[in-house]
Amino acid sequence: MDKVRKIEDSDLDAVEIGAAILGTGGGGNPYIGKWRCRQELRKGNKIDVIPLDELPDDALVVSLGGIGAPVVGVEKIERGDECLRALRAIEQELDCKVDALISSEIGGANAMEPMLTAAQAGIPVVDGDGMGRAFPEMQMCTWSIYGHKSTPAAMADEKDNVVVIRNTRDEVWVETIARATVVSMGAAAAIAMAPMRGEFVKKAAVPNTITQALSLGQAVLDAQARNLDPIATVLKQETGKLLMTGKIVDLERHLKGGFARGHIHLEGFGNNQGERGEIAIQNEFLVFWRDGEMEVCVPDLIVVLDADTGLPITTEVLRYGQRIAVLALPCHDLLRTPRALEVIGPAAFGYPELSFTPLDRAELGGA
């Protein structure tokens, strides 16, 4: 489809679905963010989208979104202006005016947060993001991987607290300090990072991901309306691979250090009858094993869909007995470089014994 120039009320259901699929289980459930965006549009505010190639080189662009454990968002509802207050804190700290916003991750609720904040602030949101999916830690953004210094960064919660992180030794320390802060804020808050110049964003961003989320979600809705297989639609749209259909027979999930961590154990059905699957979780789905053998791991995308409806299931709503389809989608090339794999390869998540073998787009039928 053509590049998105504006998000309309009628687009939001599709963006919600597409963002949840690309979120690989994390990024937070986008449902509430969708309704907050809808509310802003009905107030007469706009969600303008600027294509990456039209972003001025000297524009000041802020990456922002939610930080914390997605499962907390089920019970701890945001006030709705947390990202806006974090943005204003950055502008005050640096005595500047930000020109545009961009999502730290297109996955889940963090696809919606920049749109919501853009509508509130009256500035556009850039058609791209820093992950092309969702990851659990902030240094896993392409901005950090390719040289941006994220401080000063500002955090805001629903209780009117604002914390500014002025300087850190490196990007990992931004994550470490922010993670400790968000735990004290109740395990969910907003964060805005130091502004980037448009010239850098055009090189480091995963491009056109708002367009991608909208197009993907619309394809799923169209498939449902025409009584077609939505899972096959996602696979075709994203050049993906069906790994397994199975039932969740054991679910281990706990909150630790500001993350939802655990494992899903699956018993295959249909064409996968007799097979056993396992998925590792740290906010997102990280590794998929079949009968004890690793098949797919980060940074490629592992997606869990409802086996009957084809709709995405995020980590916080996983339940024993659910019938799911597990898909693998290839990540963007920016996530596959040696420099990127040092930060977002399996070793970064505690699996040094695993080796990342990228999904082959050509084998899967893509370009």
Write the pLDDT tens digit of every residue in 124-170: 999 999 999 999 999 999 999 999 999 999 999 999 999 999 999 99
Q: Which of 158, 162, 174 is nearest to 73 (CA)?
A: 158
Report if residue 57 sits inside a domain. yes
The pLDDT score that the predictor gives to residue 267 is: 98
Report if residue 129 sits inside a domain. yes
- The answer on 245 and 140 residing in a single domain is no
Does pLDDT of 74 surpass 80? Answer: no
**pLDDT bucket at 238, cuts 50 / 70 / 90:** very high
Report if residue 1 sits inside a domain. no
**pLDDT bucket at 117, cuts 50 / 70 / 90:** very high
Residues 6+ apart with CB under 8 A from 261: 253, 254, 255, 281, 282
Report if residue 177 sits inside a domain. yes
pTM: 0.94
Q: What average pLDDT does range 337-355 have in this prediction?
A: 96
Q: What average pLDDT does range 88-100 have in this prediction?
A: 98
- The answer on 204 and 237 residing in a single domain is no
- The answer on 158 and 21 residing in a single domain is yes
- The answer on 278 and 186 residing in a single domain is no
Does pLDDT of 252 surpass 60? Answer: yes
Does pLDDT of 366 surpass 70? Answer: no
Average pLDDT, rounded, for the chain: 94
Report if residue 166 sits inside a domain. yes
- The answer on 35 and 169 residing in a single domain is yes
- The answer on 204 and 138 residing in a single domain is yes
| CATH number of the CATH domain containing 84 | 3.40.1610.10
- The answer on 202 and 264 residing in a single domain is no
- The answer on 153 and 109 residing in a single domain is yes
- The answer on 270 and 238 residing in a single domain is yes
- The answer on 186 and 60 residing in a single domain is yes
Does pLDDT of 87 surpass 70? Answer: yes
Burial class (CB in 10 A: 0-12, 13-18, 19+), 140: buried
The letter for the amino acid at 192 is A
- The answer on 253 and 347 residing in a single domain is yes
Burial class (CB in 10 A: 0-12, 13-18, 19+), 146: middle
Please answer whether residues 73 and 32 qualify as being in contact, where contact means their C-beta atoms are separated by less than 8 angstroms: yes
The pLDDT score that the predictor gives to residue 367 is: 52
The pLDDT score that the predictor gives to residue 43 is: 97
The pLDDT score that the predictor gives to residue 362 is: 75
Which domain-ending residue is among 209, 239, 268?
Answer: 209
**pLDDT bucket at 2, cuts 50 / 70 / 90:** low
- The answer on 163 and 29 residing in a single domain is yes
Q: What average pLDDT does range 110-123 have in this prediction?
A: 97
Distance in angstroms (rounded) separating the CA atoms of residues 109 and 127: 16
**What's the structural domain count of the chain?**
2
The pLDDT > 70 percentage for the chain reads 97
Range of the domain at 71: 9-209
